[in-house]
Structures are given as C-alpha cells and as structure tokens.
Amino acid sequence: MKSSPWGHVQDCTQVAPEIIRVSTASHGGYHCIGQAQKRIETLFPEFKPYAGRGWYEEDCDWAIVALAHRPYFDDRSVYHALKTVQGGSAGYFTAVRDWLHRGSLDARSVQAKAARYLEEHGDDYEIGSMGSPPSGSPANAWSVSLRRIKDNARRSVLMPGYPNQKTYTEEELDAIAAA
C-alpha cells in the first residue's frame, strides 16, 4: 500500500484479514476492505467515516473498527474504543451508541471486554501527556502526566527516562517519584 487519505504510507501492519493499520508522516488509521468493511457497514449502516468508505482515522473512527472486530483487539483497545464512542461529538456516533444500548450479543461482548479491562486495571494509571522536564532535571528525564483509569484522578511524575509501559500501578509511580 502506497497511499492513503492521510498521505504517503510510511508503514502498514496487517491487524487481521482485510484490516490494515496505516501510518503516514502526519496521521494514520485503519483501512478495511472486503468482509471486514462489510461487517462494519452491516453493524453501523448509518456511520460514515471522515476519510471515506473503508478508511478509519486514528483519532476517533478507529473505534468503529475495534468495536466491530473486537476479537482482533485487546481488552485495553476495546475499552478505549468504547470510551471514544461514548465521549464523541453529539451526532457523530449516534448509530453506534444506539447499537450499544440495544444490547445485541455483539454489543454485550464489547461491553464485557471493556468491563474486564476496567476490573483488571481500574486502579492503574495511563499516560495522558509527556513533555520536557523542569530546568535542572536529570538528563533524559520526562515530565509525565497520568490519569487513573477508574476515575480520571490525575498524577504527575518526573520519570528518569522515556516511559515504556502502557499502565503504571500506584506503587510503581510511588517508587519512581521516590527515586
């Protein structure tokens, strides 16, 4: 694949049959074809992605791909896809929210997968943003802002290097802060 609605493709990864993760210099998302695209259109016939049929950008539309094809996405991704849809602009995800509320087997499976992630990781923190540390900080340090998954409680930590985990426990953050 050489081009996408976001420009020249720099990298692409096969996520599942007929689902490709695409990255460009400035943006990216998922490209669905064949039966993968047909499933999305069957579940969400009124949904129209920003980038056009079969293209799901990485900011919001990606959530549709994860919800429709949840077996190919981990619990964390499905949890965040559900949060994206629930928090999206008023009219944009209406059809998807309606699908979730109707409680089909597929919708219940999505909700169960997201609930499992929340149960297992609700007390953990995820990175919200990172930046340059305050003047005088150790070399290679990062100023990291995190949020607790279950309640969005915020915490900031100066990390000694680039963060390499998706989630951190309270104990891990305490140890980093004490170091």
pLDDT average per 10 residues of sequence, the chain (179 residues): 94 96 95 98 93 95 96 96 88 90 93 96 96 93 96 95 94 92
User: d(Cα 9, Cα 152) in Å, to the nearest integer?
Assistant: 35
Strand ranges of the sheet holding 125-131, from the earlier edge strand across to the other edge: 154-159, 142-148, 125-131, 167-168
What are the C-alpha distances in Å from 17 to residues 25, 34, 58? 25, 9, 19
Task: List, edge to edge, every strand of the sheet that includes 55-57.
Answer: 3-4, 7-16, 19-24, 28-32, 55-57
137 shares a domain with 70: no
| Same-domain status, 96 and 145 | no
How many structural domains are present in the chain? 2
Backbone angles phi, psi at 91, to 5 degrees: -95, -15
Statement to judge: residues 129 and 111 lie in one domain: no
Domain of residue 99, residue span:
3-120
For the chain, the straight-line distance linking the first and the last C-alpha, in angstroms and rounded, comes to 46
State whether 139 and 64 are in the same domain.
no
Listed residues 75, 97, 120: the one ending a domain:
120
Distance between CA atoms of residues 174 and 143, nearest Å = 15
pLDDT given at position 179: 81
Residues 39 and 58 in one domain: yes
Same domain assignment for residues 7 and 58:
yes
- Residue 74: what pLDDT? 96
> Does residue 141 share a domain with residue 76?
no
Q: Are residues 9 and 64 in the same domain?
A: yes
Query: Looking at the structure, do residues 111 and 161 belong to the same domain, yes or no?
Result: no
- pLDDT at residue number 91: 82
Question: 168 and 138: one domain?
Answer: yes
Give pLDDT, residue 1. Answer: 87
Locate 155 and state its tokens: 């915490």
Structure pTM? 0.89
Where does a domain end: 97, 120, 143? 120
Task: Verify that 15 and 30 share a domain, yes or no.
Answer: yes
Instruction: Say what the pLDDT of residue 72 is.
Output: 97
Residues 32, 91, single domain; the answer is yes
